[in-house]
Amino acid sequence: MVKGDEKYERGSTLNVSRGIHVFRYLEFQGVGVPAVARLIPPAEGVALLDMPGREEGLLLRPGDCVVVRAERPSEVGVGLRRGSADGSLEASFRLEAIVLAEDPGVSQPAQAVARAPLVSAVAAPLAFLAHVARRGDVAFEQSVWVAGPDAPAVIEGLEIVGDPKPSVLEMQVLVGSRPPRWSEWVGARQFAGTRGQGLPVTGLRMRLAPEAGNLEISVEALFLGALVESKRGRQVEFVSGSGIDPLVGLKVSLQSAQRLGESRPAPSLEAVARDREPRVRVFRASSSR
């Protein structure tokens, strides 16, 4: 990752919701000079308010922070480099939602997530981190797509970084190795999948613990060459139709379960019309030999 003449040794991407956020340097786990981080906003839609006298988006030590004002949902890059030649990159950060534009009159404090070595972002009780091919680690909130219909990209691993209760949600991923293999069930702050091996996620399972109470998992998943699939329940499973097509989009949320005998509200005419429209489909690019 490059910013001007600067080169960063580790990069990540934050999915930032429309609103006002604070990005904080929480902790440096190494010794000596702390690692240096920089927020790299897109060309439009995101403004940074920095500490007086500081270069744009630069965080030099624990305690530094930058205010992020997003006009629309955006991706903000984060670069990390060593503070000295023999320094460490082991540092943790946090993105806090101060006010989300969808509810401008309500302050929404974020929950801390100790995600080393790079970035944590939680603006909702449930949040995730996906390792995306050619993009690195991408943090995303519940009810927000990572990759997905508008920007499909191969997902190689997943981690639950924010959870309303300890281990309330668990997951497995099907790694596209030869032969494919399911990971172990993992809970919050445990990574499932691979990094740097070029192996896509080709299946996903999620389940709720009994402690989850009256909650259900709601998931939308997009595999290469397929339509968006939607499932809801205490346990859900997705596997690509061919068994080898990668997961290229995911959106997850926890919702209150529908009670027995409770009917859902009748859909509006507009909603019915939308449901009848064809869903986004992603096709595999052909290659000539």
Give me the residues paired with residue 46 across strands. Answer: 70
The tens digit of pLDDT for each residue in 20-47 reads 888 888 888 888 899 999 999 998 999 9
How far apart, in whole angstroms, are the C-alpha atoms of residue 178 and residue 199?
Answer: 10
**How much of the chain exceeds pLDDT 90, in percent?**
37
Query: Apex CA 94: angle with CA 89 and CA 98, to 5°?
Result: 155
For strands 91-100 and 74-81, give the pairing: unpaired
pLDDT at residue number 130: 92
Which one is predicted more confidently, 114 or 202? Answer: 202
How far apart, in whole angstroms, are the C-alpha atoms of residue 170 and residue 115?
Answer: 18
Burial (Cβ within 10 Å: 0-12, 13-18, ≥19) of residue 268 = exposed
Least confident of 94-98, 109-113, 126-130, 177-181: 109-113
Q: Quick one: average pLDDT of 37-61?
A: 88
pLDDT at residue number 125: 57
The tens digit of pLDDT for each residue in 2-14 reads 555 567 888 888 8
How far apart, in whole angstroms, are the C-alpha atoms of residue 134 and residue 45?
Answer: 23
